[in-house]
Amino acid sequence: GIINLVGALGPELAFDALWYHLTIPKLYIQEGEIFFIPGNLLYYSAMPKLIEMLYIPALALGGEVAAKLIHFSFGILTLFVLYKLSRLFLSKTFSLLVLAVFYSNLVVAWQSTTAYVDLGRTFFEVLALFFLVSYFKNKKDSTLTKSAVSIGLAISSKLLAIGSLLVFTVVLLLNSVRISRVIKFSLIAILIPSPWFIFSYISTGNPIYPLFTEIYRVGPSVSISNILNFVRSPDPISPIYLIVLPLVIVTYKEFDNLLKVVAIYSFLSFLIWFVTPQTGGGRFIMPYLPAFSILAVSAVNYSKNIFIKKYLIALIILISISTLIYRGAANAKYVLVLLGIESKHEFLSQNLNFDFGDFYDVDDYFKNNIGPNDKVLIYGGHNLFYVNFPFIHESWVKPDDKFNYVMTQGVDLPERFSDWSLVYENITTHVKLYRKP
């Protein structure tokens, strides 16, 4: 947690955060309203954005670090819920081991240092699972309602969680829950994010825009190679799940009924992830890792072979230590900034990826030359969070918009601006600035 906190306290570098998770809330603040942003850059502005809504006050009051700390906190909150869930099946010691398995995933450690939304979704999904298992234990309708609300909040955080609603529905049906209760569960879960669906439909005519449009052509990905994402993903999943899988299968018959609910949920969740577009690497399966972690440790706990049990426990600890070392090395770059030895300006100038469309005013030219009454039309560029001057992007510019500068990043100047004068160029950031004659 301390190692991850170091990364969370540093300036944001992550691609999607600089692309839209932080940029969209920043534009909302600048315009004073929540609105749909048309075009082929910030098309995610029509999708559910519960976590981004939390980033609005964070950016207004504390900048991107405050937003990163919110996402980091969702990781910590997930541990609390996961511990409570684990204690329904395991001792205190083995429940803590579950937390070690989950939190030592490199994808979890990396996500804890960013202003993404996936840890928010993970928190709400494990909360939904906790209430679901509790419902099967106490049979209280109010507990099932809490589970439905939680999965609705997960969908509000990330649209892909609709797949998890299908998983919960099937689990309820397999456990002979009355159809009326299953329908009520689903309706409540859909009701929670419904304002976002209405917002999207009014703005685009599609309640789940940009899905099923030309802008977002990615479809289901059904391939046996998807399993390799457990090990080959840029943000890898812990190998412990695959290592312990045979033991889970062998000990399954010894699980009690509540633990079998978690096992069925895990299997169905894996199937949903298996057909999900693999554009998000390990973070798309991250909401299901808490359940996988419980199964893995439960299988170890149920093992009758003392050697295997000790070996697997030692392996879990070794993986945790290796993650700590790896993320410690990755987050070491933030230390000089946190100590005040290196300025944020120097850090961003050296660590942003300008070849991938990040923007930053490395030499303060825009700060010193673009005033509040100017406006810059941007062509190219992709991750615009650090743009700190009045701008419009080519993807949402309107015919009546006024601007007196044109900036290009990594693209050629459109022909219609051929008579505009080049006033600034930066080879490092691939930026060129033109002024109206």
Tell me how far apart the alpha carbons of residues 209 and 251 are, in angstroms, rounded to a whole number. 43
pLDDT of residue 282: 74
Tell me how far apart the alpha carbons of residues 294 and 99 are, in angstroms, rounded to a whole number. 9
Which pLDDT tens digit goes with each residue over 357-377?
999 999 999 999 999 999 999
pTM: 0.95
Q: Which residues in 55-76 are b (16+ Cβ under 10 Å) and which e?
A: bbebbeeeebbbbbebbbbbbe
DSSP class of 43: G
For residue 5, pLDDT beyond 80: yes
Tell me how far apart the alpha carbons of residues 410 and 357 are, in angstroms, rounded to a whole number. 8
Identify whether the C-beta of residue 258 lies closer than 8 Å to the C-beta of residue 133. yes
DSSP helix/strand/coil, 379: strand
Tell me how far apart the alpha carbons of residues 298 and 198 are, in angstroms, rounded to a whole number. 42
Q: Percentage of the chain with pLDDT > 90?
A: 90
pLDDT of residue 219: 59
Distance set, CA 173 to CA 162, 268, 295 (Å): 17, 13, 21
Which pLDDT tens digit goes with each residue over 69-100?
999 999 999 999 999 999 999 999 999 999 99
Mean pLDDT across the chain: 94
What do you get for the CA distance between the two ends of the chain, in Å? 55
Q: Which amino acid is at 151?
A: I
Tell me how far apart the alpha carbons of residues 278 and 182 are, in angstroms, rounded to a whole number. 29
Mean pLDDT confidence for 334-353: 97
Which pLDDT tens digit goes with each residue over 120-168?
999 999 999 999 999 999 999 999 999 999 999 999 999 999 999 999 9
Q: Residue 218's pLDDT band (boundaries 50, 70, 90)?
A: low
